[in-house]
Structure 1
Amino acid sequence: MYDVILHAFDWRYKDNEVNAQRIGDMGFGAVLFPPPLYSDENGQEWWQRYQPRDYRVIRSYLGRKADLKRAVDALKKCGVRAYADVVFNHMANENRRDRFNFPGEAVLQRYSSAEEGAGFKDDCLYGNLNEGLFSPDEFNKLGEIKNYNDPWEVEEGSLGGLPDLEFCDKVVQQQRECLSALNGLGFSGYRIDALKHLPVAHLEAVFETEGMQDKFVFGEVLTFNDNQEATFLWPVMKTTDFPCYDFVLQETLRKAFAPSGSMRELVDPAAFGQALPWYRAVTVAVTHDIPNNDGFRGVLLEPQDEYLAHVYLMGRDGGVPLVYSDNNQSAGRYPEDRDRWADAWQRHDIAAMIRFHNAVHGMPQRALYEADGFLVFARGDRGIVAINKTNKWQHPVIWTRGMRQGKYRCQIHGHEMNVTGDTFVFAIPPREAQMWLYSGD
């Protein structure tokens, strides 16, 4: 079963529907949809999707319930699973008198109005829209988070003014009903936004329930250094069964590709606590938070290093790779981002990496040559990955024992080579990578 996730970041639902066949043909296993719960339908900014107004309605700037259903069904027909990004930590930060009542009196009036009521009925996911979803009793009273290194405050406090939901029976009940209804729309998995802001007991009460056993549920615990990982990520890994974004490995990649770093760190990083266990990892070179938030841009890889990182993540054995593809959301503030990730999902190099990943999926990995500046490893007896971070050609001599003798084709560049004898001399261009697949005798 193909497993590579396409993060269709802030795509309109119709875009997923139109591109479903192409996404399936590329070899993606799943598409991660933006948060689908009701948010400001006129809010073009991507962050609006992370400010839900009501769990019971599917409507946003990206489309309505019928649009979402068509997109999920179109992907399913092409053998691609649909995952939804769910925001259960908080509700929308709205400037209104009843800001702790959701969806609020004005929205409830829209639900019942003669002019708009029928449309909201069509977009209803579950429940009774004649009554409110949450009242002030369902929100934490601590106020803003002041110390982001304090786990208790991070769980109980408000993030940037967003009303923080309490762990209580009413909230758990509504979140369970919401997931059940999303399951009914055809979703096969969920990304838990802001997981480190939710108590473990809350996560278990909502996501470890009947009807969720066969769903792929993974979390985002945003960390960028060893201290943050020790405080927030590793405790989640020890106390739950949820897979998470492998920000530990993303940090290891940043260190390895730095001028003073060593590619040897990438031979088996999980063995030294420099990556999550393979069966609990969603591996990433970049996520939507990194380019779109000022405070996180410092962990962006250089474009060529990001390309090399994707080769490593798609070439290695372990983890579920995620490919981030946007529509230039960050380019308005950062012109250098223009077209960096737009349509990344169908770039030639990404397509080649997915072909390689799918062809060797499940085959064991072993190092063929390791050095500070470059790395060569095998996947089973028919795949070879070579990555050179240096500015010079590298010509390692590798032992061919355990590899098939014959012709190999590089999926990225289209070149062919003939592997014969006990040893073979590789030629790896500067700042480049190769993904070789056995093609025959």
Structure 2
Amino acid sequence: MRDRSVGMFVKEENVMRDVVLHVFNWQYQEIINRLGEIRDAGYGALLIPPPIYSDVKGHDWWQCYQPKDYRVVLSHLGGKQELKELIEQCHTIEPKLKVYADIIINHMANETRPDRLNFPGEAELANYRKNQALFEANRLYGDLSVGLFSPFDFNRGGNIERDQWCDRDRVIYGDYNNLPDLMDSPWVLSQQRTMLIALAAMGFDGFRIDAIKHLSERMIDNFADSESLAGSYFFGEVLTGSDCEENIFLDPFLRETWISAYDFPLFQTIREAFGFGGSLRKLAHPEAENNALPWDRAVTFVVNHDIPHNKDFRGWLLDPTDEHLAYVYILGRDGGLPLIYSDHNESAHTYSKDRDRWFDAFQREDIKAMIKFHNAVHGNPMTILYDSDLLLVFRRGENGIVAINKAGYDTSVEFNTWGLKSSSYEDLISHRQMRLGGDRCTLSMNPRTAQMWLCHQ
């Protein structure tokens, strides 16, 4: 049953914390050092980069997305001991932070070597023997004296071609950009399940499954239906950018699994609504219009790590002001698990205009204000108070008001205050105060701004 209880934002112990901070490409020790800041900003969970063994000398952002061996926890971001300390501190800090791991099970690393379909490969096995103490300290499970996968464990259909991205079978069983695609054989499935169970035993609260639209239903059910993982939260990246892709990939995913997913339909709706000629009315009831995932299966976002780094997706980036307004929307609305992306300028190495755009975004004052609002009104119903092409106003229960103006000029909006408390309110973004009383309220709004009013008591 969904919690619809009403709680006041002044009582910190009563607020619900569920916002996920994607600590993209952060080293584990840095996360540990900044847990106090993260807690104080109001987050409820962390999403860490893939922890499974990858090239420790390769510092490119994508390096962790090319696993070498499920049985080892080690990357350029840190090893098993730092990860255990991170999880322990997240679980003992008050309030507790959940920890989710990004996991790659569709493919293994694309490496140039004669035995490229043997993992970890002969050279790596020799490295294990040479540095036995290091790899034993970072062993997750299993016998590191023998290999894990052989050529018999991979689909051999070749790369997915550009004109095959709407062919579900090719997307599931083909290679993406020369990354060796694992088959859903009993051996592969047993290793994937064992790896996830071992990570859960380390203390991980859940897992983001990368490239999940590339997985067969059998591969997903293998971990999603495991009794040993019943307490884990799973969400997947079902990347879609059109109605055709939603029909082919997302709709079957929603029917065939119970797993949550990135809400790409809502993201595309947000892009259209804030785009030139778009209407904010599209954001009033997106789920009812099939423009958003069900509230209990959606991980909502405004930017994720793939969009800035992939030239094919950079056209999806919002204008920075629209990005701010979109964050107000996803953290102000009812439904979904909001995710905030915070990087270390990785994309700026290629795209200089990205510099500092998402660097330490987790502690931006506007985002902290939005999270405070979100946590305070969590579970309270959302009621539209006013909507037009350029303005959207809604309330959250009786204590919160969200107002968004995408117009390029000053405006005002009047609405009925039925259902709202007659009390003092503060706009958490601008820190302005107002007293709400009577049947009507008028808000004055500057161009391309938003307000998040929370009731004082």
- Match of residue 233 from structure 1: 250
| Aligned structure 1 segments of 4 or more residues deviating by more than 4 angstroms | none
The two structures have a TM-score, normalised by structure 1, of: 0.98
The 5 Å alignment of 1:105-116 reads 105-113=122-130, 116=131
Matched-pair contact (CA < 8 Å) for 2:224–2:259: no
- Match of residue 217 from structure 2: 200
* Separation of aligned partners in 1, 2:411 and 2:335: 26
Q: Which has the higher contact order (CA 8 A, sep 6+)?
A: 2
The count of corresponding residues between Structure 1 and Structure 2 is 438
Query: Which of 154, 159, 170 is the aligned partner of 2:187?
Result: 170
Query: Which of 202, 211, 230 is the aligned partner of 1:185?
Result: 202
Query: Which of 287, 290, 306 is the aligned partner of 1:273?
Result: 290
The 5 Å alignment of 1:2-401 reads 2-78=17-93, 79-113=96-130, 116-146=131-161, 147-401=164-418
Matched-pair contact (CA < 8 Å) for 1:4–1:321: yes
Shift of 1:240: 1.0
5+ unaligned residues in a row in structure 1: which ranges?
none
1:111 match: secondary structure: helix
Per-residue deviation, residues 81-112 of structure 1 (Å, max 9, x unmatched): 10000000000000000000000000001111
Amino acid at match of 1:96: R
Matched-pair contact (CA < 8 Å) for 2:370–2:428: yes
Per-residue deviation, residues 174-226 of structure 1 (Å, max 9, x unmatched): 11111111012110000000000001121001232012111110000111222
2:394 match: secondary structure: strand
* Separation of aligned partners in 2, 1:118 and 1:258: 55
5+ unaligned residues in a row in structure 2: which ranges?
1-15
- Whether 1:427 aligns to 2:444 is yes
Matched-pair contact (CA < 8 Å) for 1:24–1:75: no
Matched-pair contact (CA < 8 Å) for 1:17–1:72: no
* Separation of aligned partners in 2, 1:76 and 1:351: 21
* Separation of aligned partners in 1, 2:197 and 2:295: 29
Q: Which moved more, 1:413-422 or 1:380-389?
A: 413-422
Shift of 1:252: 0.2
Matched-pair contact (CA < 8 Å) for 2:21–2:341: yes
2:288 match: secondary structure: helix
Amino acid at match of 2:373: F
* Separation of aligned partners in 2, 1:245 and 1:237: 12
* Separation of aligned partners in 1, 2:225 and 2:327: 32
Matched-pair contact (CA < 8 Å) for 1:21–1:75: no
Shift of 1:119: 0.6
